[in-house]
A and B are shown apart, each in its own frame.
Chain A
Amino acid sequence: MGKTLFDKIWDSHIVASKPGFPDAVYINTHFIHEVTSPQAFDGLRKRGIPVFRPGKTRATADHNVPTVDQHLPIKEALSRKQVEMLTTNTAEFGVELYGLGHRYQGIVHVIGPELGITLPGMTIVCGDSHTSTHGAFGAVAFGIGTSEVEQVLATQCILQYKPKRMKIEVNGQLKKGVVSKDIILYIISKISASGATGYFVEYAGEAIRGLSMEARMTICNMSIEMGARGGLIAPDSTTFDYIKGREFAPKGEDWNKALACWQTLHTDEDAVFDKVLSFDAADIEPQITYGTNPGMGMGVTQHIPSLGDIEDKEKPSFSKSLQYMDLAPGSRLLGKKVDYVFIGSCTNSRIEDLRMVAGFVKGKKKADDVTVWIVPGSKQVEAQAIEEGIDKIFEAAGFQLRQPGCSACLGMNEDKIPAGKYCIATSNRNFEGRQGPNARTFLASPLTAAAAAITGRVTDVRELI
Chain B
Amino acid sequence: MVSTAVPLSIENIDTDQIIPARFLKATTREGFGENLFRDWRFDEQGAPKKDFVLNNPVYKGRILVAGKNFGCGSSREHAAWALGDYGFKAVVSSFFADIFKNNALNNFILPIQVSDEFLQQIFSAIEKDPAAALEVNLEEQYIRIVPTGEQQQFDINPYKKTCLLNGYDDIDYLLSLREQIGTYEASRPFNF
Q: Which residues of A contact B95 (CB under 8 A)?
A: 194, 197
Q: CA A154 – CA B185 in complex, angstroms?
A: 15
Bits for B158-173, please: 1 = Cβ < 8 Å to A, else 0.
Answer: 1100000000011101
Q: Are B98 and A227 in contact (CB under 8 A)?
A: yes
Q: Are A26 and B17 in contact (CB under 8 A)?
A: no
Interface size class of A (residues with CB under 8 A): 35 or more
A10 to chain B, nearest CB (A): 13
Query: Counting CB contacts under 8 A, is B128 at the interface?
Result: no
A375 to chain B, nearest CB (A): 16
Query: Counting CB contacts under 8 A, is B57 at the interface?
Result: no
Q: Which residues of B contact A38 (CB under 8 A)?
A: 27-28
A82-B27, A147-B170, A193-B69 known; A411 and B80 CB under 8 Å?
Answer: no
Q: Which residues of B contact A21 (CB under 8 A)?
A: 159, 173
A159-B173, A432-B39 known; A121 and B12 CB under 8 Å?
Answer: no
In the A-B complex, list the 3 residue pairs whose CB atoms are closest, starting with the nearest: A145-B77, A78-B25, A145-B103
Query: Counting CB contacts under 8 A, is B36 at the interface?
Result: no
Q: Which residues of A contact B159 (CB under 8 A)?
A: 20-22
Query: Counting CB contacts under 8 A, is A24 at the interface?
Result: yes
Q: Are B97 and A145 in contact (CB under 8 A)?
A: no
Query: Counting CB contacts under 8 A, is B60 at the interface?
Result: no
Enumerate chain A interface residues (CB-CB to B < 8 A): 15-16, 20-22, 24, 26, 28-29, 35-36, 38-39, 42-43, 47, 49, 52, 56, 63-64, 78-79, 81-82, 85, 119-122, 127-129, 139, 143-148, 150-151, 154-157, 159, 161, 163, 193-194, 197-198, 224-225, 227, 229, 250, 254, 257-258, 261, 293, 295, 313-314, 316-317, 320, 410-412, 419, 429, 431-434, 437-438
Q: Chain A residue with minimal CB distance to B104? A: A145
Q: Are A82 and B102 in contact (CB under 8 A)?
A: no
| Residue total for B at the interface (Cβ-Cβ under 8 A) | 57
Q: Chain A residue with minimal CB distance to B20? A: A433
Q: Chain A residue with minimal CB distance to B24? A: A35
A64-B25, A317-B67 known; A148 and B102 CB under 8 Å?
Answer: yes
A151 to chain B, nearest CB (A): 6
Q: Which residues of B contact A139 (CB under 8 A)?
A: 192
Partner-binding segment picked from B82-90, B130-138, B145-153, B176-184: B176-184
Q: CA A396 – CA B14 in complex, angstroms?
A: 39
Q: Chain B residue with minimal CB distance to A318? A: B11
